[in-house]
């Protein structure tokens, strides 16, 4: 469908309840099974009579370090969780992340800029390299309060699995072509998102 400034609809993220439950269940199981396994390994090792003392000490150190790092990870996750994104919206102003009814993070079409690195294209596809991270849209935005342009990845961050993530990204690209026709989108971006 060909959109214009007047008929550009708002698209809201859809929560995949099944996948979100599956991921959360796996995470909870992982955080229960690994520390319990370390404790069980510690108990079995110290109750075994035929294990040398050096091995017992090594296993005890390993188990205690594992428990320590799991505790630190749990504490850092609790501190880091300042807010939970409840929905992601793409509309006629840009891409927005919401906590309840207030927008906490946005990439607006207005704040987007041309590629300052003298590139041909302004909207690129970020190459994740050897990581297992997916390809993401890369844009250039004006930094708030500074006369600086920086590269930014278009990430859909939420406390749940977004079922229509690619639709949201395609709609954001459509919004760029409607509201910022001066920005050039790289062909591999359009190919990747089947546009």
What pLDDT digit, counting tens, does each position of 133-165 carry? 778 888 888 877 677 888 888 888 877 778 888
Q: Tell me, yes or no, whether 151 and 64 share the same domain.
A: no
Whose tokens are 């501190």? That residue is 79
Q: Which of 34, 65, 80 lies at the terminal end of a domain, its last residue?
A: 80
For the beta sheet containing 124-126, the strands, ordered from the edge strand earlier in sequence to the opposite edge, are: 124-126, 136-142, 149-154
Residue 104 near residue 98, CB atoms below 8 Å: yes
Q: Tell me, yes or no, whether 52 and 131 share the same domain.
A: no
For 24-40, what is each residue's pLDDT tens digit? 788 888 888 888 888 88
Q: Tell me, yes or no, whether 53 and 92 share the same domain.
A: no
Q: Tell me, yes or no, whether 59 and 131 share the same domain.
A: no
Instruction: Kindly state the greatest CA–CA separation across the chain.
Output: 79
Q: Tell me, yes or no, whether 57 and 132 share the same domain.
A: no
- Domain encompassing residue 59: 26-80
For 17-27, what is each residue's pLDDT tens digit? 888 788 878 88
**Angle formed at CA 116 by CA 171 and CA 148, multiple of 5 degrees:** 95
Q: Tell me, yes or no, whether 100 and 47 share the same domain.
A: no
Comparing C-alpha atoms, which of 182, 185, 184, 152 is closest to residue 170? 185
Distance (Å, whole) CA 125 – CA 123:
7
Distance (Å, whole) CA 78 – CA 108:
30
- pTM, rounded to two decimals: 0.73
Say what the pLDDT of residue 145 is.
Answer: 67
Say what the pLDDT of residue 113 is.
Answer: 85
Considering the domain boundaries, does residue 4 fall inside one? no
Q: Tell me, yes or no, whether 93 and 61 share the same domain.
A: no
Q: Tell me, yes or no, whether 41 and 102 share the same domain.
A: no
Comparing C-alpha atoms, which of 63, 29, 31 is closest to residue 44? 63
Q: Tell me, yes or no, whether 73 and 93 share the same domain.
A: no
Q: Tell me, yes or no, whether 74 and 90 share the same domain.
A: no
Whose tokens are 């607006």? That residue is 108
Q: Tell me, yes or no, whether 38 and 109 share the same domain.
A: no
- Both tokens of 53, joined, read 């003392």
Say what the pLDDT of residue 3 is.
Answer: 78
Q: Which of 34, 64, 80 lies at the terminal end of a domain, its last residue?
A: 80
* Total number of domains constituting the chain: 2
Where residue 135 sits, what CATH number does that domain have? 2.30.29
Helix (H) / strand (E) containing 68: helix 53-80
- Both tokens of 126, joined, read 């970020």
Considering the domain boundaries, does residue 2 fall inside one? no
Q: What is the dihedral of CA 45, 47, 52, 56, to 10 degrees?
A: 40
Q: Tell me, yes or no, whether 32 and 122 share the same domain.
A: no
Say what the pLDDT of residue 82 is.
Answer: 62
Helix then strand count (H, E) for the chain reads: 4, 7
For 82-137, what is each residue's pLDDT tens digit? 667 778 888 888 888 888 777 788 888 888 888 887 778 888 888 766 666 778 88
Residue 34 near residue 66, CB atoms below 8 Å: yes
Considering the domain boundaries, does residue 6 fall inside one? no
**pLDDT, mean over the chain:** 82
Q: Which of 39, 61, 80 lies at the terminal end of a domain, its last residue?
A: 80
Could you please report the per-residue DSSP string of 6-18? SS---EE--B-HH
pLDDT at 80 over 70: no
């Amino acid at each position: 469908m060909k959109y214009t400034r007047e008929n550009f609809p708002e698209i809201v993220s859809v929560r995949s309840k099944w996948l979100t439950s599956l991921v959360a269940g796996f995470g909870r199981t992982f955080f229960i099974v690994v520390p319990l396994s370390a404790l069980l390994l510690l108990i079995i090792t110290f109750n075994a009579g035929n294990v040398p003392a050096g091995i017992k000490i090594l296993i005890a150190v390993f188990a205690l370090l594992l428990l320590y790092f799991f505790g630190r990870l749990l504490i850092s996750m609790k501190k880091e969780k300042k807010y939970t994104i409840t929905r992601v919206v793409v509309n006629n102003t840009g891409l927005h992340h919401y906590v309840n009814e207030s927008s906490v993070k946005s990439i607006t079409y207005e704040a987007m800029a041309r590629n300052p690195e003298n590139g041909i294209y302004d909207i690129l596809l970020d190459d994740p390299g050897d990581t297992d991270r997916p390809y993401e849209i890369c844009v250039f935005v004006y930094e708030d309060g500074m006369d600086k342009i920086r590269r930014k990845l278009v990430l859909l961050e939420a406390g749940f699995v977004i079922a229509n993530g690619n639709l949201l990204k395609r709609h954001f690209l459509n919004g760029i072509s409607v509201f910022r026709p001066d920005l050039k989108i790289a062909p591999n971006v359009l190919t990747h998102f089947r546009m």
